[in-house]
Amino acid sequence: FTLGDLHWVGLEWFEDILRSDRFLASLGRSLLFSGLALAIQVPLGIGVALLLLRYGRRAVWGLVLCALPLVVPWNMIPMLWLGMIQPQTGLFGFVAAWGFDYKFNPVHTWILILMVDTWHWLGLVAILAYAGFASVPQAYRQAASIDGATGWAVFRHIELPRITGALAIVLLLRCVDSLMIYTEAFTINAGGPNDATRFLTLELGEEIKGFSYGQAAARASLYFLIVLTIVWAFVIATRREEPTA
């Protein structure tokens, strides 16, 4: 690798990537994974937060348990789960007898990666949602109970509007972070089987490891623009007009 043969290629790398079916496929898989992760983790985290809210001060122990996966090193999380589903020694090794095969079944691989990601990040959603629910004055719930409001009505009209700010942050953080998934997908099946879990990050990682720095730089720039576009759209969607005097 020397600097003697440098030459300007203009937008050639960007054009090649954008015209590549492989890039579009990996982009689709990344967006699909992000959508599934949000659809699973946000409602489940809200449910956990509502459950913990019933325990009053004892809920702190539940919050601690929810936070434990957040402090586990990233590279250890997929290894931990792969160990738990080992047929001979794993805690959940019995799933192999049910026909669960993450190595050669794309659906099973997706299920496993989603389970690992949910276990890792569910605590963040639950903690932020719990903080929003805890900020709702108890007098509001008591007044709704006196008026005969159902639990769903209390959640829909009293609790949910008070946690929209926290949920907005959760949606943004989890959306951006789920697009960056790499360690779990690479460790579990290295993008397989048959490229079923080859996300944008795995494509970028392969080019960097293969010393294709020009194409990797262009892909990283496109990746950054995609994330920036999502954040921009999120800000526009959640922006509220300032009250006028």
DSSP code per residue over the chain = --STT----TTHHHHHHHT-HHHHHHHHHHHHHHHHHHHHHHHHHHHHHHHHHTTGGGHHHHHHHHHGGGGS-TTHHHHHHHHHT-TTT-TTGGGGGGT--TTT-HHHHHHHHHHHHHHHHHHHHHHHHHHHHHTS-HHHHHHHHHTT--HHHHIIIIIHHHTHHHHHHHHHHHHHHHHT--HHHHHHHTT-STTTT--HHHHHHHHHHTT-HHHHHHHHHHHHHHHHHHHHHHHHHH--PPPP-
Its pTM stands at 0.86
pLDDT per position as a tens digit, 181-212: 999 999 998 888 888 999 989 988 888 888 88
Q: pLDDT tens digit string along 4-38? A: 667 777 788 888 888 888 889 999 999 999 999 99
